[in-house]
Structure 1
Amino acid sequence: MDALNLPPFEHKITKSGANYFIFDILRRKNIVLTPEEWVRQHFLHYLINELRYPKSLISIERGTNYNKLQKRTDLCVYDNSGSPHMLIECKAATVPITQEVVKQVSVYNQTIKAKFVVITNGLAHYCWQVDFETRQFQPLQEIPVFSKQ
C-alpha cells in the first residue's frame, strides 16, 4: 500500500487466499484491504489518536438516503448530543480530489447536515466548515480537534 500523509499506526494485516485484510478497530473485524480502506483506516486512527475523537462518536459506512438512493458515508463523527459533527469522505491515494468529489460530499451533507466536511485521499486533506443558513463552505487550515462541548 502507498505511504500516506498521515501518522502511522499499529495496523494488523492478514492474508486469506488472494485477499489481504486489515483489522478495523470500530467494526472489530477484518475488512478487505483496498486502497480506499487503507486511507480510511489511517484517517480513523488519526481522528482517534491525534485529534482525540472518542471511538464511540465515530461511525463507518453510515447509511443515508439522498433522492431516494441509498448512499454510504465513509466516516461520520457525531457530537456529544448525537448530531452529525463531521462528515469524512475517503478516496484512494491515486484518486485526485476534484470538484466532482467535493460536489459528491456536499450533496451527501445536504441530508446529513454535519458542521464540518473533510475529504482526503491520504495525501491531501481538505476541511470546510458548513454554514447551512448561507449555504457557504468556509475552508479551514486544520481539521478541528475533539471538543467536549
Structure 2
Amino acid sequence: MIPERYAYLTEKLNFPEFSFDLKNVEGKIHIYDQLRKKYLVLTPEEWVRQHMIQYLIQFKNYPKSLISLEKGLIYNSLNKRFDLLTFNQKGEPLLLIECKAPEVQLNKKTVNQVTVYNQTIQAEIIGISNGKQHFFYRLNKEVNNYQQLTDLPNFI
C-alpha cells in the first residue's frame, strides 16, 4: 500500500508509461536519477521531472549529455534554480522547462516564472509541466515575445 503522502504516484500523468527504480529509505521513497546517477527523495515535482527527462530522451531524442538539471542562475541579483535545461550541439541553451507538482495549476503566474528565468538563460524554447498539462513556447528574439507550440520539437 502506498502511503497517502505518495498518492501522486497513482495519478495518471500525461506521459507514456516509464519504469523507474524506486526504493524506500527510512520511510521515504527515493527515485534513481539516471542523469545525476544517484537516488533522490521523491517529491511530486521530482516525479514530474523524472517523467519529463525520460520523455525527452526516449521520445524526443534529446541526448542525456546535453541535459542539465537544477542549476543555479542569478536574476536581478536573486539566486534562482531552473529545473531542466537542454543544450543544442553547439552548447547553446535550447530548451528550458520548469516542472511543477501535479496538483499545481498551470497559469499565467507559473508560465511567467519560466519566462523570467529565460531572460537570463535565453533558451530558444521554454516549457512548463505539471505532468498532466504541458505548455511549450518558442522565443522570437527579434520581437522578444513567445509563440505557443502545439508540440515539443524533436532534438535535431
Q: Name the TM-score, length of structure 2 as normaliser.
A: 0.92
Give RMSD over aligned pairs: 0.7
Taking the aligned partners of 2:89 and 2:13, their CA distance within structure 1 comes to 30
1:65 pairs with 2:77: no
Within a 5 Å distance, the mapping from 1:119-134 to structure 2 comes to 119-134=128-143
Within a 5 Å distance, the mapping from 1:2-81 to structure 2 comes to 2-81=11-90
1:8 match: secondary structure = coil
The amino acid of 1:24's aligned partner reads: D
Q: State the 1:69 CA deviation.
A: 1.0
Q: State the 1:133 CA deviation.
A: 2.3
Taking the aligned partners of 1:3 and 1:24, their CA distance within structure 2 comes to 20
| Aligned twin of 2:6 | none
Q: State the 1:136 CA deviation.
A: 1.1
Identity over aligned pairs, percent = 46
- State which of 111, 121, 126 in structure 1 corresponds to 2:120: 111
Q: Name the TM-score, length of structure 1 as normaliser.
A: 0.97
Q: State the 1:10 CA deviation.
A: 1.6
Taking the aligned partners of 2:30 and 2:12, their CA distance within structure 1 comes to 17
Runs of 5+ unmatched residues, structure 1: none
Q: State the 1:3 CA deviation.
A: 2.0
Taking the aligned partners of 1:84 and 1:27, their CA distance within structure 2 comes to 19
> How big is each residue's C-alpha offset from its partner over 1:103-135, in whole Å with a ceiling of 9 and x where there is no partner?
111000000000000110000010000012211
Runs of 5+ unmatched residues, structure 2: 1-8
> How big is each residue's C-alpha offset from its partner over 1:84-109, in whole Å with a ceiling of 9 and x where there is no partner?
00000100110010100111110000
Structure 1 runs of 4+ aligned residues shifted over 6 Å read none
